[in-house]
Amino acid sequence: MRPFRRRLLCRRESDAGERHNLLRMTRKGREVLEDFSERANEQVKQMLRALSPGDQRKLVMAMNTIKEVLGAGERKGPFVIRGPQSGDLGWIVHRHGVLYAQELGCNEHLDGLVAGMAAEFIKRFDPKKEHCRVAERNGEAVGSVLLRRQSEEVAQLSLLLVEPFARGRGIGRQLVEESTRFARRAGYKKITVWTSKDLAAARRIYEGAGYRLVHEEAQHSFGRDLVGQTWELQL
């Protein structure tokens, strides 16, 4: 065999018997392996340098997804919920457009709606009555929610989102709970939220938090037929 002829590996009989052999890498074998690893690492670096920052982020997300799927233990990794930082609202608009197109078949009209909500939130932001929360894991945004003032006594929950690879950890539930605590401190009497009947995971979160369905209506929005629902939580 070539590894033996090139003196990369050596073999000796195991104490378990003549049918068992132990293989060990020689010093020359270790040197060859180290050289191969260095050249492989350099090739990977060159490939990454050729990618744009956006493509690098996509690659990292794809690798994270593979890691999440293959490593069940990683599904319980820690995450934090924090206030907004520069770029977060742009990320919220972008991810809503991408995910709702992929999962529900929505068109660009949804992008326009979400972008308008984000712009209005920034323009009229009142830190005593409104908030934005972002879930982050390993320095990467994985979820979001906004709580906006509708009136002195009513707040509106909106733009709840959790990345597919981060679902199943209770992130959406904690984002909603954080918003409920804020709403109570802000003196609201009620929180209202609009969602689509298709979003079963979101509806389960609202139901678990004590929200009640108060209105349901079939409509054509964002390029598709859907059933819009309004849920309310009395505080």
75 domain-assigned: no
Name the pTM for this structure: 0.68
Looking at the structure, tell me whether residues 89 and 36 fall in a common domain. no
Looking at the structure, tell me whether residues 46 and 93 fall in a common domain. no
Most confident of 28-37, 150-159, 162-171, 214-223: 150-159
Q: Which of 60-64, 119-123, 166-170, 188-192 has the lowest mean pLDDT?
A: 60-64
Rounded percentage of the chain residues whose pLDDT exceeds 90: 43
- Tokens 């040197």 belong to residue: 31
147 domain-assigned: yes
Looking at the structure, tell me whether residues 167 and 109 fall in a common domain. yes
Looking at the structure, tell me whether residues 46 and 139 fall in a common domain. no
* 32-55: pLDDT as tens digits: 788 888 888 888 888 888 888 778
Looking at the structure, tell me whether residues 107 and 45 fall in a common domain. no
* Mean pLDDT to the nearest integer, 217-231: 87
Total domain count, the chain:
2
36 domain-assigned: yes
Looking at the structure, tell me whether residues 20 and 112 fall in a common domain. no
Structural domain boundaries enclosing 44: 2-50
Q: The domain spanning residue 230 has which CATH number?
A: 3.40.630.30
30 domain-assigned: yes
Looking at the structure, tell me whether residues 96 and 38 fall in a common domain. no
65 domain-assigned: no
Looking at the structure, tell me whether residues 161 and 219 fall in a common domain. yes
117 domain-assigned: yes
